[in-house]
């Protein structure tokens, strides 16, 4: 593994990169790790790559606060989750947890935005 690819993003993604989006970076993964370490009950939800966006993961805390970042491939976030001993789910199978929707609704009522996105 090269120093510049600390989390194996390029190795795990392969040669395929979406055409409309920037690639996932180590900073993206580190942001998810920081979020997970600073909040209780974090779970990761993998979102599939689309034509316009690279594979992303949403980290959702026990209170529903969340953040989304590019991860390059599902294998990258699975490794991070394993290292942090946190669960990771495929959002196409499980959907998003109710606590995330409740958090978004509370924020909307307060006139604020949700947490960060990409």
User: Would 118 be classed as within a structural domain?
Assistant: no
d(CA 90, CA 69): 15
Is the residue at 116 inside a domain?
Answer: no
Q: What is the pLDDT of residue 1?
A: 42
Element (H, E) at 27: helix 26-38
SS3 68: strand
Q: For residue 51, what pLDDT is reported?
A: 82
Q: Tell me the helix, strand and coil percentages in the chain, rounded to 5.
A: 40, 15, 45
pLDDT at 17: 55
pLDDT of residue 111: 80
In a domain? residue 114: no
The verdict on residue 72 lying in a domain is yes
Q: Which residues pair with 88 in a beta bridge?
A: 44
pLDDT the model gives residue 21: 63
Q: Please, are residues 67 and 35 in contact by the beta-carbon 8 Å criterion?
A: yes
Query: Quick one: DSSP state of residue 110?
Result: T
Give which of 82, 84, 83, 80 is closest to 70, Cα–Cα: 80
pLDDT tens digit at each of 118 positions of the chain? 444 566 665 565 555 555 556 788 999 999 999 999 999 999 999 999 888 888 999 999 999 999 999 999 999 999 999 999 999 999 999 999 999 999 999 988 888 665 555 4
In a domain? residue 81: yes
Is 26 domain-assigned?
A: yes
């Amino acid at each position: 593994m090269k120093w510049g690819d600390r989390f194996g993003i390029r190795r795990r993604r392969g040669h395929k990169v979406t055409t409309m989006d920037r690639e996932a970076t180590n900073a993206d993964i580190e942001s998810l790790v920081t979020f997970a370490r600073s909040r209780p009950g974090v779970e990761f939800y993998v979102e599939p790559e689309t034509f316009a966006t690279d594979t992303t993961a949403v980290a959702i805390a026990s209170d529903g606060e969340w953040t989304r970042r590019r991860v390059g491939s599902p294998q990258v976030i699975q490794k991070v989750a394993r290292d942090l001993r946190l669960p990771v789910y495929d959002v196409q199978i499980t959907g998003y947890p109710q606590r995330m929707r409740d958090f978004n609704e509370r924020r909307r009522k307060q006139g604020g935005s949700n947490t960060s996105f990409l």
